[in-house]
Amino acid sequence: MSAKLPEKRPFSPLLVSSGLGSGETTPLLEQSAQDLSYEAEPIKNPFVIDDLEYTPEEEGAVLWKLDRYLMPCILVTTFVLNMDRTNNSNAISDNLPADLGFDINVVNTATAMYSVLFAMACLSGAIIAKIVGPARWIPILMFSWGLVTLAHVLIADKTGYIAGERCVIPTTLVYLGGFYKSTELATRLAWFWGVQHMASAVSGLMASGLLKLRGVAGLEGWKWLFLVDGIITVVVAVGTWLYLPKDVAHMSTKGGLAGGTPWLTRRQAQIAATRVIRDDESKRSYEKTVRWTDIKETLTDWGILGHLIITSIGQTPNTPMHTYLPTVIKSFNFSVSVANALTAPPYILQGIAMILVVRHSDKVRERGYHGAFGAGWQLLGWIFLRSLPSSAGRGLKYTAAVVVASWPSTHPLNIAWMTENTGSVGKRTVASGLIIGASNIYGTWGSQIYRADDAPDFKRGNLINIGFAGVAFLLWLAQKRKYQLRNARNAALVASMDAHQLSDAVARQAALGNRSPLYRFTT
């Protein structure tokens, strides 16, 4: 039994960017030859066999090997890197500001500066990844970040702290897109971010022990934390360089840490490459680098811009929560070591909740309502925490903090939704960099929500968090409605076409991507 080719549906955001009026049909079909040539001349992948026949069992075996050999390495990289990032909040709870002679307002300034630099690096990082190759760019960035983490041990004052504060995540998104179909990516992204939450939990447990080394070798406890994490990151970066395959073709060869036996047979490599192309025709051009046309189309695509806004607004409360969670828990009359250990349960719960929500979203092929559910959870959590009086018991306060911190993060769902509604590899590469940048740029204003004069209950700050979470809830519903209207509009356009126009639209479908009237958006 041969595998059935899935219904062709290129990816992309809102068709608003096409500039169509309600009764217009011809502009969609009147693209210049120059615009179409980019998609019309894909680089030939010798492992893509257009008439290849394979059974669902064979495809399942390939997917199992990808999950067994490829994903664990990816998950290890994000686990290690997120431990580095989380340890900043753990260090703050160990009196890092006081040791360096400043208050949390300086921490906020450093967080804002880091957010701007990180967001700028994300777009450039995604584009460079297409030039250097994700399998090489990921370990390079990891090694660099490991050195930055180690440099924290040398911080001696406020200037050093601000200066101490690039971008693996968009590179990873580009990389995984070459191996997984759109119906598989959201769940893998849930694993990706779920592992990050587990890393935050482990980081808290590590911190509860390492921070007790204060005074050993003349170092503060938080310096021991950065020292250990930096060494781990550098070692893992070297291992990743030797392990990750460049593409599917390299999975059928042996060498390096990947082992003496190829991951895939030649036939399995052909299946792995072909099935991804059948799912998304634009990936025939996966090896092409980004062009200015891709950047222009991405920045004028209102669907992508909608996802960027959802990210920036919905993730804003993460900045005060992730930066000060150990400190907030410590304010409930817990010791430093206990407070850091108590950050583990909410991070574990958040990872589990997020994976369950995203898996269900994949199963029923629905995005908007699932995202609104996650945003609504966060909204109710902030309301719960904000409503507690200062005299409330520490058990009740900790429960409220757990409810807030364990909300099923909508970030991987939002990325998957944007990715499957984006029409070309080049455009998707730019969008991946932008959305990761958007998921960090909010730190410029999010870092100012918790202020020194609002501590320790942060009543004003939590009221601001309620506002951001409420707007995010509405944005998820609005984005879904936009896609529904776009699908209805496309259906009306197709219904009004004569046979010649319809044939022309089919011929140009892959080149037009989400601008094609034949395109159907996931809602």
**Backbone φ, ψ for residue 43 (5° rounding):** -75, 130
Lowest mean pLDDT across 249-263, 468-482, 484-498: 249-263
Burial, 268: exposed, middle or buried (Cβ in 10 Å; 0-12, 13-18, 19+)? buried
pLDDT at 370: 96
Per the model's pLDDT, the better-predicted residue between 38 and 362 turns out to be 362
Lowest mean pLDDT across 28-32, 124-128, 438-442: 28-32
Mean pLDDT over 94-123 rounds to 72
pLDDT at 255: 56
pLDDT band at 520 (very low <50, low <70, confident <90, very high): confident
Query: How many other C-beta atoms can be found within 10 angstroms of the C-beta atom of residue 173?
Result: 26
Lowest mean pLDDT across 244-258, 350-364, 411-425, 467-481: 244-258
Burial, 419: exposed, middle or buried (Cβ in 10 Å; 0-12, 13-18, 19+)? buried
Residue 464 has pLDDT above 90, yes or no: yes
pLDDT band at 136 (very low <50, low <70, confident <90, very high): confident
Say which CATH superfamily domain 291-522 falls into: MFS general substrate transporter like domains (1.20.1250.20)
pLDDT band at 287 (very low <50, low <70, confident <90, very high): low
In CATH terms, are 49-283 and 291-522 the same topology?
yes
- CATH 1.20.1250.20 correct for 49-283: yes
pLDDT band at 167 (very low <50, low <70, confident <90, very high): low
pLDDT digits 0-9 by tens, 413-461: 998 899 888 866 677 778 877 887 787 788 788 888 998 899 888 999 9
User: Which residues make Cβ contacts (< 8 Å) with residue 72, sequence separation at least 6?
Assistant: none
pLDDT digits 0-9 by tens, 236-245: 999 999 888 8
pLDDT at 57: 93
Report pTM.
0.68
pLDDT at 23: 34
pLDDT at 61: 93
Q: What is the mean pLDDT of the chain?
A: 80
Domain ranges of the chain: 49-283, 291-522
